[in-house]
Structure 1
Amino acid sequence: MAISDVHNILIIGPTSSDKNVDLSTALYDTVEILHKLGYKTSIIVEDPTSLLSSGEFLDRIIVEKVTGDNILKYLNDYHPDAILPTIGDKNALGIVASLNGKISNIRILGTNYLASLATFKRELFIKRLSQNDLPVINFVSSDDETEIYSFIRKIGFPIIARRKYSNRHFSGWTNINNLFELDNFMALEELEDTKIEIERSIRGFSEYSFTVMRDRYENAALVGTIEDIEPIGIHHLDSNLISPAVSLNDSKLQKLRNYSIKLAQAFNVVGACTVHFAYNHKTNECYITEFIPRLSEETKFLEYATSYPLATVVVELSLGYHLDKVQLDSGSNFNGATEPFVDHITSRFPLWTDPKQKYLGPSKTSNSSIVVNGFSIEEVLNRGALNDKINDNLERYNKLRQLNDDELFEKIIHPTNWMLDVLLEALRRKFEIPVLSEVTSINVPYLVALQNVMDNSAVIRDDEVDENNIERLVEYGIKGVGNSKLLMNSDDIVTKTVVKSKRSIGASGPGFMNHNYFVTSGISNDIEFNDRNKIIVRSPIITSKRDIMVRQFVLLQLVKSIEQNGLEPVVIGREPWTAPLSVRYNVLEIDDPHREMSELNLIPENKIFKIIDFSKFWNLDTSDSDNKNIFQINARELKNVNIAGDTTIKVMVVTDGKNYLAPSIIYRTKKNSQTYEISDFNNFLSVENKDEILTIIKHELDLYKEINIFNLEIVKRNDHWVVTKVYEGMTEDIIRHELASSVHVIDTLVKLILGNKIDEGLNLDEIFKNYDSDYLVTVNEKKFRFMDYDEVNKLIQSI
């Protein structure tokens, strides 16, 4: 039964779209289901690009810095019935904690004051866990040396220590193994008003995270588990993650599951609660290190791994629904209490765009990741972290082989993002697995998997593939890895490349279709295509957080447009795309890290209407350049001239190869060290400026007679516009253009691809037409604000 006195909900949005891009589809799912259930919703968000066009479901969008003061101002002005903070990153929890006692009858949904505060105040976190007999690491924070030494005598070495300064900042953690090192640490001169924090060291323990769902009626379910290949001491998101946790036997898994549910009960968390554990398999010591009572990067990974619609279920549980009676589309029921059982492994491997080695430690250094699926640890290693087509592993191997044993061992004890490559080289040199496990604290199953990868690559290299080992090679994901041509050419039926459904028993029940697939090897394909004509969209591999946001946005708009125009979208990519829930019913998603789909010929050629290539880095077919059915929409630089100017416009042009529309122009200017960007500048251009810009467009694009989107950057010099940059396809500006323009250029592009034409003889107003009445203004690329026509006009006059 839903809470009856909640009708109007304020959502606390994420602070930065670049850092919290994983929350973008969760945000879309949340506001869409609230809209379908009939709630009025508002959101306060710093960067509206994080909305992924979900603004159509929102009644009010406030573009302001997401702070407690601004939230309070909104509450006093509009008096919503409830606040939903669970998709607003850690900042939202801090705001909720600060609101205690400042609001009266406004509900906090999902995460209460206590849970929010405990994510920041370690003393409260420890106290609550201790009261509920949950395993937690005690610590001391004091400036009294007697108290500190007394505490250490109780817990023993090793310990970790840091200084807490009066301005709430901390020093880094220092590992201390004995009394001598402690005395040296205590003797360091520091500022006054400084406390020392000390706790038991768990460096080298295995790290796990469990995500549970809980409703207001004490019903709870385990959604999924994640295991870090690297031990604690390396940042969780710089580690190679595996789901489900494969190194836990059933008794250990049930133990941690019970702890997770008990913690959610202790803090009365309604919705998703992710609990992190440190586990020592030698001593069976177990500690809860932190909990996250909200949606996060991990929950998005689990949503893909398990097919469980986490974001939608979370918001409905927050509204009072029973766990076994949530509604995915305000009509069909979904039993969220059934715990998913997956038949595959999903792995997330961190990526570094800088090719240099990065030392791994407690601070996060990776800036992206790739997600792959498989049926064994070896397969996901081969498809992800050891995929030479993604990570240039062959170059790494060549460098590592030049090291002597001492130099290699130095890299083992001081891990970098080359850790798995280093371990492979160590195994090649016959370093013993027990020794490597002792030194690195990596669990033996992963080292055995690396040994298998190395051994079976050698089998292929030495031409020793036969009927006795070919099935094992295929199970280990060798097919598709650079040196496997001999295996790929084998006539053995086992080596056939197939497409498998990412099955999740429990989540993939009747009424909840799962259209996620991945390319692997085996005997039979799971995928079946209907008779509808299809448009295939090739998705890019991701290299940065910004790329993820652009991909999420473009794929969402493409899929929606393809579906609305009566065709079936098929998205094929090097890694999976986590589509919003409503879109998953209408799109087939196939992740193909080794680019094998082109060889399968699974999709009847006469059913492929068009191919839209947004892949940026790869083509499925070497004959693409001659294939008129393929539309390249990935960004390609056509012109780049270094001409500086204080005033610039960015013009988005969509063309059918002959006629043009320029529905979105972004104006950019500098004054007094401030940078201003104004969307929809079409409506502020004079007739003379429009005529000059159209002449420039025709001149620059005269040689390009194909359907596509173009982006022109034009600088004002001596009262004339000069073109400095021209891009073909989707640049990162596409999000701002789409959000700013009432003419949806991606949908227009799809219609042109399907055969529509732009009308002949359009006048200037029709070419530059834009119906928007709200304008997105950005100051110094950080502060966003919506303004009306008069406000923008006044701003233009002032700058």
Structure 2
Amino acid sequence: MELNEVHTILIIGPTISDKNVDLSTALYDTVDILHQLGYKTSIIVEDPTSLLSSGTFFDKTIVEKVSGDNVLKFVQKYHPDAILPTVGDRNALGIVSSLNGKIGSTKILGANYASSLATFKRDLFIKRLNKAKLPVINFISSDDEKEIYSFIRSIGFPIIARRRYSNRHSSGWTNINNLFELDNFMALDDLEDSKIEIERSIRGFSEYSFTILRDSFDNSSLVGTIEDIEPIGIHHLDSNLISPAISLNDSKLQRLRNYSIKLARVFNIVGVCTVHFAYNHATNECYITEFIPRLSEETKFLEYATSYPVATAVAELCVGFHLDKLQLDAGNFFNGATEPFVDHITSRFPQWNTPGQKYLGPSKTSNSSIIVNGFSLEEVLNKGALNDKLNNNFDRYEQLRKLDDDELFEKIIHPTNWMLDVLMEAMRRNFEKPVLSEITGINMPYLTALQNIIDNSLIIREGEIDGHNVERMVEMGVKGVGHSKLLLDSSDIVTKSVVKNKTSISVANKDYPNHNYFVTAGINNELKLSDRKKIIVRTPIITSKTDTTIRQFVLFQLAKSIDQNGLEPIIIGREPWNAPLAIRRKIVEIDDPYMEMKSLELIPNDSILNIIDLSKNLIDNDDKRAFQFSAQEIKNIDLQADTSARVMVVSDGENFLVPSVIYRTKKNNHLYEVSSVNNFMTPENYNEFSQLIAQELEDENQVAIYNFELIKQKDHWLVTKKYRGMTNDIIRHELASSVHVIDTLVKLLLGNKIGDNLSLEEMFNNFDEQYLLTIDDKRYKLLNKEEMEDELKNLG
């Protein structure tokens, strides 16, 4: 079954962790299953924070620039049997494509040379697809003006064009509709080392993505489909995404599924392959626009949607497992060839950190996203894109209502992130839906759903709720939205909020229980809990990639610690969180976008020992069990110094531990920062730090994590900042400390004590033998003590 000649595997990691959050979290499942199967794994990664909690599984961790040269150096020094690029980002595919013929007998798992190269070289991609008779848009890349004009005459307008530079960067696509616009584009000043790329415009086509798993024996299965509500011409991650793709009938779905499987076969991809399509429903034209032969943001989204363990399955397929004979944690059997059939809709809605309208186009502008679940299009639209609590939709409605028809039409033809609100306003004014669909490229099912929301909002606003329409409105997820009090006051039983399981037929079996739920409405509640005492962890809406990285890390550590202490962890989030597979069946995950769980009383109150709240503001200050984990600023003195320290402290209300100190200072005009300085602080520093901390905690008598910032002035330390709770340093402190801070916190919340009369060595205890070093604010280096001291000596 497995590749017998592969025993050691080098994983090419993602580059920047806060931009590749989904890859960082998929990394845990990948290395966990490889560890269970007996493989030795190493990783090359630029930022060790991207390892999250998976660092313990690696035989070697190389913190260097993730480049072809450094991968080649590792191969020549350690001779791994194979390289796995599927949990790296696009950069990993570029590295693989550059290694052809340079790494001897070392195998490439998953994405081979040809498939990796084809993600960069458009001409190779088109050549392979044309040879396989797969639908693809013809393309030219040239610096010859005559050749470019001749190609355009053969395909006609409209076209899209961009300049591609020798360093692989590009100018972004420009839409060109006629010869005049083409002449203007060609006349722009340009660098000599560039080529112009031209292809037929498919702007306005519908966009779909299909994710396929394939083993080395040519067995394939479709994990899931995603549809962009907005058409091609708007960046995929600026679109509202829906899974499964509901505007495809069965014949169209099977057609695209077959194309996806054939493409994976053409490039001999083993593991995962996501294929993007452009589809014109009026003409039935279909084109493959790109493919991604690795784990990505889309594969993580499909894990949310289907509960299919994609990362674990991909790792096993890459080392030779049959698709229908996969193995989950603890040796449980899993038939990955059974394609998921879900009973719900999962949607991803982009978010922008700044208010106001943003024009949408080929370049990504959104900062983050929110994921919601529901049983109808109306429900997920109401929970997500039309959720006034998240998007200020009522303010949008007021502004759009003031526009005349011509001004509103301008908003329709020039899409912004307010597009759904614009369309609703247009339909309120009786703009015809077929016309709106033709102009915007948005398919009719979504316009019909918006019309249903308009109609039912009017019923709610006018108070005309009766037995004939109440059930339909509840199905649309109007609870918690806008004018919903009349509906909530209704005596009809179907208005009751309940918790439903995210059922997926292929994965909801006795060997793979799914404890992933979401709050909706109905009669029967499906939430199933064990008899164990419980700790509830509540999480807020996440507004940035950095916040997401921290939340993923903290939630995993909390859930693992709660379970290891004999309790049942219940994660209640404003949006979904998929735990690593190793603990997924041990915890309960509930998506609760309107924060209804507390009032529903579905969890017996006497079974809850503690509530850990990760939001910025505690919801129930009166509940003594509620512990606020996010940082609350207590002290902030605006003083600066060349030498400073960031100190994490854990307190039981009487005594404290100092498991991590991060030291920052200047040396020969270089600013450096090093972790784990507990190991080489002087007795005088131990004493001075402990006295300052004890003074700051004199009036604090509760279990808590504290973060202090200290500066050094005239040979003495001074506390300038004090936070109660978790700061953004939590990952670095955890990586830098042999004391697991989060696990220690959980134990203290359960009543354990630190102990009296600790010596200074016990108080500052840290056995960690690796150091995170940053010089001049560049990326972290993970070093042992000798390497770290050598780096500092080199500063002079």
TM-score range, shorter chain: over 0.9
**CA shift for structure 1 position 149:** 2.5
Describe the shift of the 1:796–1:698 C-alpha distance in structure 2 as closer, same or farther (beyond 3 A): farther
Contact 2:434–2:444 (CA under 8 A) maintained in structure 1: yes
Match of 1:278 in 2: 278
Q: 1:75-94, aligned counterparts within 5 Å?
A: 75-94=75-94
Describe the shift of the 1:339–1:617 C-alpha distance in structure 2 as closer, same or farther (beyond 3 A): farther
- The normalised TM-score by structure 1 is 0.97
C-alpha distance in 1 between matches for 2:592 and 2:651: 31
Residue 741 of structure 2 is aligned to residue 738 of structure 1: no
C-alpha distance in 2 between matches for 1:113 and 1:279: 29
Describe the shift of the 1:790–1:498 C-alpha distance in structure 2 as closer, same or farther (beyond 3 A): same
Provide the secondary structure at the position in 2 that maps to 1:454: helix
One-letter code aligned to 2:612: I
C-alpha distance in 2 between matches for 1:435 and 1:73: 59
C-alpha distance in 2 between matches for 1:531 and 1:417: 46
**CA shift for structure 1 position 437:** 1.3
Of stretches 57-66 and 559-568 in structure 1, the one that deviates more from structure 2 is 57-66
Contact 2:576–2:589 (CA under 8 A) maintained in structure 1: yes
Of stretches 467-476 and 173-182 in structure 1, the one that deviates more from structure 2 is 173-182
Provide the secondary structure at the position in 2 that maps to 1:532: coil
Provide the secondary structure at the position in 1 that maps to 2:226: strand
**CA shift for structure 1 position 166:** 4.8
C-alpha distance in 2 between matches for 1:263 and 1:790: 50
Of stretches 634-643 and 554-563 in structure 1, the one that deviates more from structure 2 is 634-643
Match of 1:360 in 2: 360
Provide the secondary structure at the position in 1 that maps to 2:172: coil
Of stretches 783-792 and 624-633 in structure 1, the one that deviates more from structure 2 is 783-792
Deviations 1:650-682, CA, capped at 9 Å, x for gaps? 100000111110110011223455432211111
Contact 2:516–2:588 (CA under 8 A) maintained in structure 1: yes
Describe the shift of the 1:409–1:718 C-alpha distance in structure 2 as closer, same or farther (beyond 3 A): farther
Contact 2:648–2:708 (CA under 8 A) maintained in structure 1: yes
Provide the secondary structure at the position in 1 that maps to 2:329: coil
C-alpha distance in 2 between matches for 1:761 and 1:543: 43
C-alpha distance in 2 between matches for 1:193 and 1:17: 32
Match of 1:628 in 2: 624
C-alpha distance in 1 between matches for 2:84 and 2:645: 38
Contact 2:172–2:363 (CA under 8 A) maintained in structure 1: no
Contact 2:48–2:782 (CA under 8 A) maintained in structure 1: no
C-alpha distance in 1 between matches for 2:20 and 2:192: 37
Contact 2:618–2:628 (CA under 8 A) maintained in structure 1: no
Q: 1:99-114, aligned counterparts within 5 Å?
A: 99-114=99-114
Q: 1:200-215, aligned counterparts within 5 Å?
A: 200-215=200-215
For structure 2, the 5+ residue unaligned runs are none
Provide the secondary structure at the position in 2 that maps to 1:232: coil
Residue 323 of structure 2 is aligned to residue 327 of structure 1: no
Match of 2:400 in 1: 400
Deviations 1:302-338, CA, capped at 9 Å, x for gaps? 0110111000000100000000001012511100000
Describe the shift of the 1:522–1:133 C-alpha distance in structure 2 as closer, same or farther (beyond 3 A): same
Match of 2:303 in 1: 303
One-letter code aligned to 1:243: S
Residue 590 of structure 2 is aligned to residue 595 of structure 1: no
Contact 2:657–2:764 (CA under 8 A) maintained in structure 1: yes
Match of 2:612 in 1: 612
Match of 1:411 in 2: 411
One-letter code aligned to 2:184: N
Provide the secondary structure at the position in 1 that maps to 2:780: strand
C-alpha distance in 2 between matches for 1:12 and 1:780: 26
C-alpha distance in 2 between matches for 1:356 and 1:636: 29
Contact 2:172–2:362 (CA under 8 A) maintained in structure 1: no
Tell me the C-alpha RMSD between the 2 structures: 1.5
2:713 is aligned, of 714, 717, 728, to: 717
Provide the secondary structure at the position in 2 that maps to 1:512: coil
**CA shift for structure 1 position 793:** 4.1
Provide the secondary structure at the position in 1 that maps to 2:472: helix
Deviations 1:214-258, CA, capped at 9 Å, x for gaps? 001010000000000001011101100000000000000000000
One-letter code aligned to 1:520: T
Deviations 1:601-628, CA, capped at 9 Å, x for gaps? 1111111111111123562xxxx21221
For structure 1, the 5+ residue unaligned runs are none
Contact 1:541–1:617 (CA under 8 A) maintained in structure 2: no
C-alpha distance in 2 between matches for 1:7 and 1:166: 38
**CA shift for structure 1 position 172:** 3.0
**CA shift for structure 1 position 400:** 2.4
Contact 2:673–2:773 (CA under 8 A) maintained in structure 1: yes
C-alpha distance in 2 between matches for 1:613 and 1:68: 43
Contact 1:25–1:578 (CA under 8 A) maintained in structure 2: no
Deviations 1:586-608, CA, capped at 9 Å, x for gaps? 10000000111112111111111
Describe the shift of the 1:196–1:787 C-alpha distance in structure 2 as closer, same or farther (beyond 3 A): closer
**CA shift for structure 1 position 163:** 2.7
Number of equivalent positions: 795
**CA shift for structure 1 position 686:** 1.1
Describe the shift of the 1:701–1:408 C-alpha distance in structure 2 as closer, same or farther (beyond 3 A): farther
One-letter code aligned to 1:413: I
Of stretches 631-640 and 658-667 in structure 1, the one that deviates more from structure 2 is 631-640
C-alpha distance in 2 between matches for 1:52 and 1:58: 12
C-alpha distance in 2 between matches for 1:369 and 1:165: 31
Describe the shift of the 1:166–1:611 C-alpha distance in structure 2 as closer, same or farther (beyond 3 A): closer
One-letter code aligned to 1:759: G
One-letter code aligned to 1:466: D
Deviations 1:14-47, CA, capped at 9 Å, x for gaps? 0010110111221000010011011111111111
C-alpha distance in 1 between matches for 2:638 and 2:600: 46
Match of 1:123 in 2: 123
Match of 2:373 in 1: 373
C-alpha distance in 2 between matches for 1:773 and 1:190: 52
Q: Indicate the percent of aligned positions where both proteins have the same amino acid.
A: 70
Match of 2:470 in 1: 470
Contact 1:359–1:415 (CA under 8 A) maintained in structure 2: yes
Of stretches 478-487 and 313-322 in structure 1, the one that deviates more from structure 2 is 478-487
**CA shift for structure 1 position 447:** 1.2
One-letter code aligned to 2:635: K
Deviations 1:612-648, CA, capped at 9 Å, x for gaps? 11123562xxxx2122111111121112221111221
C-alpha distance in 2 between matches for 1:185 and 1:516: 51
Describe the shift of the 1:169–1:597 C-alpha distance in structure 2 as closer, same or farther (beyond 3 A): closer
